Amino acid sequence: MQPDYVPGSINPSDGTPLDPTESTPLSEIEAHVARARQAQKAWSELPLETRARHLTDLAKFILEHHQDAAKIMSMETGRSELECTMSELVSLPAAVQTHIKVARDTLRPKKMPISKIEYPGKSATVELLPRGVVAIIAPWNYPLGNFWKHLFPALLAGNTVVIKPSEYTPRTGAWLWDACQKVLPKDVVTLVQGSGEVGAKLVESGIDALTFTGSVATGRKVSARAGELLIPISAELGGKDAAIVLSDCDLQRTALGIAQWSVHNCGHNCAAIERVFVEDSIADEFVALLGAIFSNLRVNGPNQTFSELGPIQNPAQFDIVDAHVKDASQKGATIVCEGGPTGDGYGWKPTLIDRCTPDMLVAKEETFGPVLAIIRVKNEDEAVKLANDSPYGLNGSVWTRDIKKGKALAKRLHVGVALVNNHAITGTMTHLPWTGVKETGTGVASSQWAYHVFTRPRTLFIDKSSAPDPWWIPADEQLQELADALIERGKGSFMATLKLAGIVSKRVKNINALAKRGTESRASESKP
């Protein structure tokens, strides 16, 4: 039987065909999950510090071989090796150590407060236990980075993991899996390859938790099925991030920052700035400066030594970018930097579009490419209103010299991460939650809050008291008296609080008397 191969095997910077990658047969996916489950018991029983040492060793191994990783990523994404290194490798050591620090605090059993007056002799501790086998389904835009933020906390929590890379970047995922095999215990990380049907089958194969990063349409389907199977899921979906530029901003730094976060990774970033709302009074000057910056940006290609961005990664995304730019032009927008195809692979020059309106595709739908829409506004209130008029809500930023005003406006943005004078930078700060609202998805990546999907809480309750609790059987007048006193205390009665001690004492005597009567009854029945 001939094996199936993963589609999409070309280098997008020059169109060079790549050697095919074998797809995982659907009939074998359950076996991959089973191997991960078999490995999970021993992995979870290791002390946290031992798991942390394993992951520190993994990070060191990856850095020692970072040139190999960058070369494979460059081949699959078309970005330069330098950009791959800067985007997904240089921050890895700090990210891993931060994940470890967060895990030490988050996973430590926590003694919970219990009233010694109302519950004498009792104590409770909450501990977080691993779910079991976690599936990570990742997209093509950051073929390593989109694994880091889920892989490390999942493993630190004591889970084992099945990774499923995008069909567009299978070789990078295979490289990561190979690194895990060389450093971690066997089958702590397993790998499946293929298109969407492989991911769908993985969800059905007995996993205990799931993280999914991808489109809204697919994310809805995956989330719905996970809900039917009662599998906890963290889903990071689309974005249409907005930046608000106020008239008092540092114009040069603002233009540079917005250029950075609009074309970074060719705009293949859920937190890329795709919309800029700039006050009318500085719009001409701001657009001119931004246009000058855009016109000097270089797209990676066959003969390019240094470049600021790579090509569009695949033909489907290329068509979306092209359609959005044409739609804006047809509806009367001003194309400041024309951009467009470079002629090499799926290369696309950065495109700056001024005087956009909310009805244009570039202003309302996720472009996910190196295209930036400028929308001129009268004031900050109009900017906030238009920025929030979106089905997405990942990052949002305000650019101003007035930090107090910027903070106040940022708090009005309907987003998971609100920033002043920067954008998307917290994505590599793994002690901070990476999350969004609306169609951007559910769940959290990074930080202590990420552990909700990777762990389940268990309460350990210990009772050392010798006396029965006063609300135990039997039902009698004193129980009624106790109920009345508790109600009155709840209403704020000081006298009811004073009476409680005496009522409780009577109740305990009655409860013990019930047990004594039972003992005497059994004794009399046993006599000849």
Catalytic residues: 236
Strands 395-399 and 241-245: parallel
Inter-residue contact 318 to 346 (CB < 8 Å): yes
SS3 assignment for 267-336? HCCCCCEEEEEEEHHHHHHHHHHHHHHHCCCCECCCCCCCCCECCCCCHHHHHHHHHHHHHHHHCCCEEE
Inter-residue contact 225 to 151 (CB < 8 Å): no
Of 161, 11, 172, 12, which Cα lies nearest the Cα of 88? 172
DSSP bridge pairs for 276: 243, 374
> Distance (Å, rounded) from C-alpha 145 to C-alpha 85?
11
- Residue with token string 């519950």: 119
- Residue with token string 């060191």: 60
Give CA separation, 338 vs 97, 132, 323, in Å: 43, 51, 14
Tell me which amino acid residue 492 is: G
Collect all residues with Cβ–Cβ distance below 8 Å to 134 and sequence separation of at least 6. 150, 154, 159, 160, 161, 162, 207, 208, 209, 210, 211, 453, 454
**CB-side neighbour CA atoms (13 Å) of 375:** 28
Inter-residue contact 13 to 300 (CB < 8 Å): yes
Find the DSSP H helices in 359-493.
Answer: 361-364, 380-388, 403-410, 451-454, 477-490
Q: Which residues of 213-241 are buried (b: 16+ CB within 10 A; e: fewer)?
A: bbebebbeebbeebeeeebbbbbbbbbbb
Phi-psi region of 108 (alpha: psi -120 to 50; beta: other; left: phi over 0): beta
> Distance (Å, rounded) from C-alpha 269 to C-alpha 73?
16
> Distance (Å, rounded) from C-alpha 318 to C-alpha 179?
32
Radius of gyration of the chain (CA): 29
